[in-house]
Structure 1
Amino acid sequence: MPARTGEQFLKGLRGQRDVWVDGEKIADVVDHPKLRGAAHALAEVYDLHHAEAATCLAPDPETGEPIPVSHLIPRSREDLTRRHAALRQVAEYSVGLMGRTPDYMNVTYAGFAGRPDEWGAHGNEAGVERLVAYQKFLRRGDVALTHTIVQPTVDKATGDAPSAGNQHALRKVGDTEHGIVVRGARVLATLAPFTDEIAVYPGAPLPQGAEDYALSFCIPVGTPGLKFLCRDSMSAPDNRFDFPLSGRFDEQDAFVIFDDVEVPRDRLFIDCNLAAYNTVMTSSWQPNIMQQTMIRAWTKLDFAWGLALRMAASINAADPETQRLIGEIWTYAEFTRAAIVAAEAEAREWPSGLWTCGVRPLHALRATLPLWFPRVNEILRLIGSHNLLAAPTAAQLADPDLRPLIDRYLPGAKGMAAEERIRIFRLAWDFAGSALASRNEQYERFYLASSARNLARHLQFTDRSRADRLVQRFLDEEY
Structure 2
Amino acid sequence: MGIRTAEQYRKGLVDDRTVIYRGRRVGDVEQEPDIRSATDRCGLCFSISADRPDLAVVDGCSAFYHLPRSREDLVARSRLLREISRRGAGAIVLKEVGSDALFALLRACQGEGLERARAFHQRCLDEDLALAVAQTDAKGNRVLSPSQQADPDLYLRIVDSDADSITVRGAKAQTTYSPNADEILVLPTRAMGPGDADYAVSFVIPPATPGLTLYVSPYAAGQRDAFEFPLSSRHRMLESLTVFDDVRVPRERVFLERESATAGPLTLAFVDFHRHTAINYKLPFLDLMVGAAHLVAEANGISGAGHVRDKLARVVSWAETVRGLAELSDVRAGPDERGVWRPDPLVVNLAKYTFAQGYPDAAAILVDLAGGLLVTGPGAEDWADPRIRAVLEKYYAGAVPGERRLRIANLVADLTVRDFGGYQTALNSHAEGSLEAEKVQMIRSFDPGPAIRYAEELAGVAGDTPVGRALTHSMEER
| Matching of residue 105 in structure 1 with residue 98 in structure 2 | yes
Q: Structure 2 CA distance, aligned partners of 1:313 and 1:101?
A: 36
- Specify the alignment match of 2:324 in structure 1: 338
Aligned residue in 2 for 1:379: 365
Runs of 4+ in 1 over 6 A off after TM superposition: none
**What's the Cα RMSD here?**
2.0
TM-score (norm 2): 0.91
**CA drift at 1:176:** 4.0
Alignment of 1:35-114 (within 5 A): 35-59=35-59, 66-96=60-90, 98-113=91-106
> TM-score under structure 1 normalisation?
0.91
Report what 2:470 is aligned to: none
Superposed displacement of residue 332, structure 1 = 1.3
Q: Distance in 1 between matches of 2:25 and 2:379?
A: 32
From 103, 109, 126, the equivalent of 1:119 is 109
- The answer to whether structure 1 residue 18 and structure 2 residue 18 are counterparts is yes
Q: Could you report, residue by residue, the CA deviation over 1:325-373 in whole angstroms, capped at 9, with x for unpaired residues?
A: 2221111110111101211111212221211222221111233322222
- Candidates 272, 275, 278, aligned match of 1:293: 278
Which residue, 427, 432, 442 being the options, matches 2:411? 427
Contact 1:104 1:293 (8 Å CA) reproduced: no
| Residues 171, 215 of structure 1: 8 Å contact kept | yes
Listed as ranges, the gaps of 5+ residues in structure 2 are 463-478
Moved more, 39-48 or 225-234: 39-48
CA distance in 1, matches of 2:246, 2:85: 37
| Structure 1 pair 78–456 and aligned structure 2 pair: CA distance change class (3 A) | closer
Task: Select which of 442, 445, 462 maps to 2:446.
Answer: 462
Task: Output the CA distance in 2 between the equivalents of 1:402 and 1:127.
Answer: 65
Range 307-316 or range 99-108, more displaced: 99-108
Question: Closer, same or farther in 2 for the Cα pair 1:320/1:30, shift >3 Å?
Answer: farther
Task: Specify the alignment match of 2:206 in structure 1.
Answer: 220
Equivalents in 2 of 1:424, 1:154: separation in Å?
A: 43
Cross-structure match for 2:466? none
Q: What residue number does 1:62 align with?
A: none
Deviations 1:154-212 (A, max 9, x none): 223325x4448723321111124531111111212011111111111122111221111
Moved more, 241-250 or 10-19: 241-250
Displacement after TM superposition at 1:42 (Å): 1.9
- Point out where structure 1 has 5 or more consecutive residues left out of the alignment: 60-65
Residue type at the aligned position of 2:250? P
Structure 1 distance, partners of 2:65, 2:247, is: 28
Q: Distance in 2 between matches of 1:395 and 1:106?
A: 43
Contact 1:34–1:233, Cα closer than 8 Å, also in 2: no
CA distance in 1, matches of 2:17, 2:64: 26
Say if 1:363 and 1:461, in contact at 8 Å, map to a contact too: no
2-side partners of 1:456 and 1:358: how far apart? Answer: 15
Report the CA distance shift for 1:100/1:162 in structure 2 as closer, same or farther (over 3 A): farther
CA distance in 1, matches of 2:39, 2:225: 15
Q: Distance in 2 between matches of 1:293 and 1:67?
A: 23
CA distance in 2, matches of 1:232, 1:90: 25
Match in the other structure for 1:451? 435
Counterpart CA distance in 2 for 1:388 and 1:10 is 36
- Is the CA contact (8 Å cut-off) linking 1:163 and 1:207 kept in structure 2? no
Q: How does 1:302-341 map to 2 (within 5 A)?
A: 302-318=287-303, 319-341=305-327
* Contact kept in structure 2, 1:12 and 1:196, CA below 8 Å: yes
Match of 2:30 in 1: 30
Give the secondary structure class of the aligned counterpart of 1:351.
Answer: coil
| Shift, 1:398, TM fit | 2.7
**Structure number having the greater helix percentage:** 2
| Count of aligned pairs | 460
Instruction: Check the 8 A contact 1:219/1:263 in 2, yes or no.
Output: yes
